[in-house]
Amino acid sequence: MHEMALCEGIVEIVEEEARRRSFSRVKTVCLEIGALSHVAPEAMKFCFAAVAARTIAHGAVIEVVELPGVAWCMACSRSVEIAQRYEPCPCCGSFQLQVTAGEEMRVKELEVD
């Protein structure tokens, strides 16, 4: 489950921010998860609770903003929204798509005390 490793990375980010901004408690961690990132929001919430125990992020709530997958269709010469990688263009059915967004998983913001 790669969500575990991702959550460890998030806890590291939170701890670094805590040192920089000197806060002592994190209430919410807001994540942006792209539709094409292969990251399951539910798994992230579950893993985070386990990984964050006994760290400054203990008890923090994970909030997920899901971003759509976007690809550039070479046949249409425009951006189209796709739900999965290797899907054909929803407009023309072409498979000549280049993914331009939706693969990311990042910490958008932290709500702290």
Q: Which residues bind Zn ion (CB under 5 A)?
A: 73, 75-76, 89, 91-92, 94
Q: How far is the CB of 95 from Zn ion (least distance, A)?
A: 9
User: Ramachandran region of residue 22, left (φ > 0), alpha (ψ -120 to 50) or beta?
Assistant: left
Nearer residue to Zn ion within complex by CB, 4 or 75: 75
Nearer residue to Zn ion within complex by CB, 18 or 82: 82
Q: How far is the CB of 101 from Zn ion (least distance, A)?
A: 16
Nearer residue to Zn ion within complex by CB, 83 or 91: 91
